[in-house]
A = this chain, B = another copy of it.
Amino acid sequence: MTAYIEPRILKGFRDFLPPAEIARRDLIEKIEASFRSYGFVPIDTPALEYAEILLGKGGGETEKQIYRFKDNGDRDVALRFDLTVPFARFLAEHRQELTLPFKRYHIAKVWRGENTQRGRYREFTQCDFDIVGSDSGAADFEILLMIRNTLSGLGAGDIVIRLNHRGLFNRFLARIGVLDKQVEILRIVDKLAKTGREETLKLLSETAGGDRALQILDFIETKGSFEEVLGKLTAAACGNGEGTLGSSCPESERLSMIRQFMTETGGSLVSDPFVLDPSITRGLDYYTGIVYETFLKDMPEIGSICSGGRYDNLAALYSKEAIPGVGSSIGLDRLIAAMENSGRLRFRPGYARLAIACLREDQGGACQALAEKFRQRGIACEVFLEEGKLTRQFMLAEKKGEQWLIIPGDDPLHSPLTLRDLSKRENREGLSVEDIAALI
């Protein structure tokens, strides 16, 4: 008896069978077409890098999740866990070869040894897009417009983009005298939705004192239209704190400019998905300007499907030169899971809608010649390879998602053709290649 190896894959990793892989590719192709239409260009970086590069000056949470090992040359290496850190390294390394502002996208897999019990995968796809080398509001707005237009085009349902400005929050913290506790406060506030109001208030009180905790909570819970919220936040954060409160400051002006761009670009069509939400802070340290998260209107509970923000200096670890930028990342796997749950993901077993039946194996050459006539017209055409009853071939074509099956004559290239419409279960006889190409 031969000992077989049990075919299995690692927990948190997935095989993609054709229907799932085609659905993934359909989405990626739409996302990529959208990025390209804005003049964005693709890059790629290695899956494996020096651990020192990926982990920077200390890993914390990241270090525990990373796939890190010694390679055969005893180098300390790791699989990338996001596309942001490799991009920072890429920028520092290739600065002289790039023209700024540089608009790039990168769609690729990343790996994290996450706890799979929370429904997380250990291998997943990120779709990052960034503009570096510009600190203009026009760059901020372009990224926001791309989020709005790219995600709206995927058939995932209505979206809400929650926008905030880190700098405005910092001004507010400075005004109430707790800017030195910024990092802890950001971390607490970032988890508001998860931990709840009461617990957040408790944690904030421990860090900033009870009065301040209430003020902070008031600030981040400001609600209303974009303009109303912007007015209230400006009043609370801008000015020098000594009687000039309410005058504008660069951060509120930036938000105001972005709002004006939204209206000018497409009126309410473009403006509507955007909500100014001061509770959005993003946990990550490197954001310094606007920050945003994107939610599906009918499934906010799955969390953000596209997040990002503006940073002053992404490549700070690797280079003296400060390169500012703004960017975002679509969490493709989360988006796909949501679309699957809501029945919005289109599954199909294949790309070809047309096939040619195999009545005699020795017609293999002639059937391929016939199929080439369709392929040359841009029509995908499968050739069945095994002789068999027509009823069996009808079933096979249906399983493969094909709608049309050509039943060739004695001479597939010259005899008139019969076309089976598998959805209507009807045959049409005496057709030419041109007839069929026109029909389907």
In the complex, identify which listed stretch (A154-162, A222-230, A254-262, A418-426) lies at the interface while the others stay far away.
Answer: A254-262
Q: Given the interface contacts A17-B43, A355-B39, does A145 sit within 8 Å of B266 by beta carbon?
A: no
The smallest beta-carbon distance between A132 and chain B, in angstroms, is 11
Residues 9-26 of A at the B interface (beta carbon under 8 Å): 9-10, 13-18, 21-22, 24-25
CA distance A349 to B102 in the complex (A): 11
Tell me, yes or no, whether A381 is within 8 Å of chain B by CB: yes
**Beta-carbon nearest neighbor of A53 in chain B:** B5
* Count of chain copies: 2
Q: A372 and B39: CB pair below 8 A? A: no
CA distance A73 to B67 in the complex (A): 11
Q: Which residues of B contact A355 (CB under 8 A)?
A: 39
Q: Mask for A32-45, Cβ within 8 A of B = 1, else 0?
A: 00001111011111
Q: Which residues of B contact A104 (CB under 8 A)?
A: 18
Q: A42 and B22: CB pair below 8 A? A: yes
Choose one: B4, B14, B73, B372; the contact of A319 (CB below 8 Å).
B4
CA distance A138 to B113 in the complex (A): 45
Q: Which residues of B contact A365 (CB under 8 A)?
A: 141, 260-265
Tell me, yes or no, whether A151 is within 8 Å of chain B by CB: no
Q: Which residues of B contact A315 (CB under 8 A)?
A: 7
In the complex, identify which listed stretch (A85-93, A240-248, A290-298) lies at the interface while the others stay far away.
Answer: A85-93
Q: Given the interface contacts A257-B362, A364-B261, A385-B138, does A350 sit within 8 Å of B21 by beta carbon?
A: no
Choose one: B67, B265, B383; the contact of A368 (CB below 8 Å).
B265
Q: B71 and A113: CB pair below 8 A? A: yes
Tell me, yes or no, whether A435 is within 8 Å of chain B by CB: no
The smallest beta-carbon distance between A123 and chain B, in angstroms, is 6
Q: Given the interface contacts A38-B382, A39-B350, does A50 sit within 8 Å of B10 by beta carbon?
A: yes
Q: Given the interface contacts A7-B89, A365-B261, A385-B139, does A44 sit within 8 Å of B15 by beta carbon?
A: yes
Q: B13 and A42: CB pair below 8 A? A: no
CA distance A90 to B64 in the complex (A): 30
CA distance A113 to B52 in the complex (A): 20
Q: A42 and B25: CB pair below 8 A? A: yes
The smallest beta-carbon distance between A146 and chain B, in angstroms, is 10
Q: A41 and B18: CB pair below 8 A? A: yes
**Beta-carbon nearest neighbor of A356 in chain B:** B39
Q: A99 and B400: CB pair below 8 A? A: yes
CA distance A13 to B399 in the complex (A): 41
Q: Given the interface contacts A141-B365, A368-B141, does A18 sit within 8 Å of B43 by beta carbon?
A: yes
The smallest beta-carbon distance between A387 and chain B, in angstroms, is 8
CA distance A68 to B230 in the complex (A): 54
Q: Taking each of A24, A46, A111, A372, which has the highest tally of chain B beta carbons within 10 Å of its own beta carbon?
A: A46
Tell me, yes or no, whether A320 is within 8 Å of chain B by CB: yes
Q: Mask for A356-389, Cβ within 8 A of B = 1, else 0?
A: 0010011011111101100100011111011000
Choose one: B4, B71, B266, B375; the contact of A317 (CB below 8 Å).
B4
Choose one: B9, B137, B386; the contact of A134 (CB below 8 Å).
B386
Q: Which residues of B contact A109 (CB under 8 A)?
A: 47
Q: Given the interface contacts A48-B123, A319-B4, does A38 sit within 8 Å of B375 by beta carbon?
A: yes
Tell me, yes or no, whether A206 is within 8 Å of chain B by CB: no
Q: Which residues of B contact A53 (CB under 8 A)?
A: 5, 7-9
Listed by A's residue number, 25 A-B pairs whose Cβ atoms lie within 8 Å are A4-B319, A7-B315, A9-B49, A9-B50, A10-B46, A10-B48, A16-B45, A36-B352, A37-B379, A38-B383, A39-B381, A39-B382, A46-B123, A47-B47, A47-B123, A67-B72, A72-B113, A103-B382, A134-B386, A136-B361, A138-B364, A141-B368, A145-B368, A257-B362, A265-B372
Known: A22-B42, A39-B380. 11 other contacts (CB 8 A): A5-B317, A8-B53, A9-B93, A13-B46, A16-B44, A47-B109, A47-B123, A67-B71, A72-B113, A264-B365, A265-B369
